[in-house]
Structure 1
Amino acid sequence: MNAIKLISSLQNPLIKSVLVLKEKSRERKKTGEFVLEGFREFQLALKGNYTIKTLLFNEDIISEAEVNSYTTTLNQAPELIKVSKEVYQKIAYRETTEGILAIAKAKSHLLTDLKLSTKNPLVLVAEATEKPGNIGALLRTADAANLDAVIIANPKGDLYNPNIIRSSIGCVFTNTIATGSTEEVIKFLKEHNIAIYCAALSASENYTKTNFTKPSAIVVGTEATGLSNEWLENSTQNIIIPMEGEIDSMNVSVSAAIVIFEAKRQRAV
């Protein structure tokens, strides 16, 4: 499919809409669309069966032939649009991206739609995580560990924030993700007989002594306040990573990774 036009004006309505989609969560929710940037992110979105509506590219960085080769296998070919170097620099976050930026359709992440594909799931639950960098790092860990699902309880933003897409290096597209209230998530875990292991400082056992070989949810909260009481009241067992220095906690994504890979180790024995 050939590009239908070249956009060289920063005042073009499509370019303005791209900038609004990137900057405004409200616009992403209203339109059901989001912006992704970079070849790796684009490839992972395709792997995650996302629908690409529009593909903008700068021919100084990537050729039209290359772009066409990436879209020939799609069931529904996106609209291809060339943009000038000036326009691309305006709409792109990073100068090092490969000249590709796309408008894609968001997916639903309702907890009621979550289907676990195994009888012995390992799930990560993150409550009220606000920082996009932390969410992105959690999603990268979940992808690396091939977790069955990531559940965001009481989400504070939308998953298609460009900073989450960027910090997750596209893993937001490859993980099975659901969102819901803390109450809904706890109910879901109990209905599926998934043990709840809360990272907490009180009434906790060393995470290496916990048995993660059965259906398990590893639950982490914010670095500032930890988990809400509702989680602690419904916990199968609180777990802790022993600290040998002066501080009593680590970055939430680091803590989650340590526990997740201990669970993976146990399951591989």
Structure 2
Amino acid sequence: MKRSSEALITSVHNPRVKAWAQLLDKKGRDQQQQYMIEGVHLVQEALASGVKIEVLVYAEERQQSLPPGMLQSAESADIECIAVSEAVLNKCTDALTPQAVFAVLPKLIWEPQDLLQPYEIDRKHSSSSKETSAASTPSLVVVIDGVQDPGNLGTIIRSADAVGATGILLGKGTVDLYNPKTVRSTMGSLFHLPIASGDLVEWLPSAASQGVAIVTTSLQATASCYEFEFRRPVWFVIGNEGQGVSPEVSRLATEHIRIPMQGKAESLNAAMAATVVLFEAMRQRGL
């Protein structure tokens, strides 16, 4: 059991509090190579997924509102648990109405080359340990090319998790994965599959050279997403909300498909389009 040796932290000027508060900004996250998850659901998901947690911080006045056994589970996993005042909690969290708990985690350590093989996270182990077992189905990697909205990125990650995608590759110009709004909108799915960052101009050709289909959506495409063969290795590229897939990335695509629409809407939101295509891939692969 690992209860913190520190007394209740009440000062917002405490050095640890200052370090936690810096995780609200990308500069602080990059310097510390850590990020924060806020709220009961995300902390429960992290504990259940077995990801490494550096410290769990909870509001001392609201300890009784935490799910039964949460602190005990954390302590039995040798996670430091620290009680703080409401002022400290407010200082360190992004939500307007903070829940009673947050945790600090090390950034994910996945690399683009990890996505070149079909992986399925072994949920008995931490995703940060890279302990995996080969998936029985061909790879399905979701590639993000410049998505800017944190909510969109988080929703795409949730959809990728829901359909059993084997990984996600974040290209340059994409919103920070560890942005608090992105993390919240993943609802814990970022713990469930490999997520790496890399230069798409480098890694898309690498995947294509191994027989992977590089697929994007296009309003000009003639082939429907419902006609495309998804029962093979596929890297599916989602573009920026306003500009779509960048020209340099689009030139690297081996296939272009469209999402048929009967109404008058010109196009779909990036996250919605990704979800439609990913669920069609799951249907074809034998739900």
2:237 equivalent in structure 1: 219
Instruction: Say yes or no: does 1:14 pair with 2:32.
Output: no
Q: Which runs of 5+ in 2 are unaligned?
A: 120-134
Closer, same or farther: CA 95–27 of 1 in aligned 2, 3 Å: closer
Residue pair 2:146, 2:175 contacting (<8 A) in 1 also: no
**Pairing 1:176-195 to 2, within 5 Å after superposition:** 176-195=194-213
1:51 equivalent in structure 2: 52
Specify which of 155, 162, 166 is matched with residue 148 of structure 1.
166
CA RMSD of aligned residues (A): 2.2
The code of the aligned residue for 1:197 comes to V
1:36-87, CA deviations, whole angstroms, 9 ceiling, x for partnerless residues? 112221232234443222211113322498443121442xx23221111232
Secondary structure of residue in 2 paired with 1:34: strand
Residue pair 1:61, 1:98 contacting (<8 A) in 2 also: no
Paired residues in the alignment total 266
Instruction: Say yes or no: does 1:161 pair with 2:162.
Output: no
1:120-144, CA deviations, whole angstroms, 9 ceiling, x for partnerless residues? 1122111111111110000110111
The code of the aligned residue for 2:87 comes to E
Residue pair 2:52, 2:106 contacting (<8 A) in 1 also: yes
The code of the aligned residue for 1:129 comes to V
C-alpha distance in structure 1 between counterparts of 2:70 and 2:98, whole Å: 14
The code of the aligned residue for 2:235 comes to A
C-alpha distance in structure 1 between counterparts of 2:242 and 2:21, whole Å: 32
User: Structure 1 length normalisation: TM-score?
Assistant: 0.89
Moved more, 47-56 or 167-176: 47-56
Moved more, 137-146 or 54-63: 54-63
Residue pair 1:54, 1:80 contacting (<8 A) in 2 also: yes
1:71-115, CA deviations, whole angstroms, 9 ceiling, x for partnerless residues? 1442xx232211112322333334766521112111223213434
Residue pair 2:20, 2:92 contacting (<8 A) in 1 also: yes
Closer, same or farther: CA 191–73 of 1 in aligned 2, 3 Å: farther
C-alpha distance in structure 1 between counterparts of 2:250 and 2:87, whole Å: 52
Closer, same or farther: CA 232–87 of 1 in aligned 2, 3 Å: closer
C-alpha distance in structure 2 between counterparts of 1:97 and 1:9, whole Å: 17
Residue pair 2:144, 2:238 contacting (<8 A) in 1 also: yes
Residue pair 1:136, 1:165 contacting (<8 A) in 2 also: yes
1:244 equivalent in structure 2: 262
Report how far residue 181 of structure 1 moved.
Answer: 1.0
1:28 equivalent in structure 2: 29
Residue pair 1:155, 1:179 contacting (<8 A) in 2 also: no
User: Structure 2 length normalisation: TM-score?
Assistant: 0.84
The code of the aligned residue for 2:222 comes to S
Secondary structure of residue in 2 paired with 1:7: coil
C-alpha distance in structure 2 between counterparts of 1:97 and 1:192, whole Å: 46
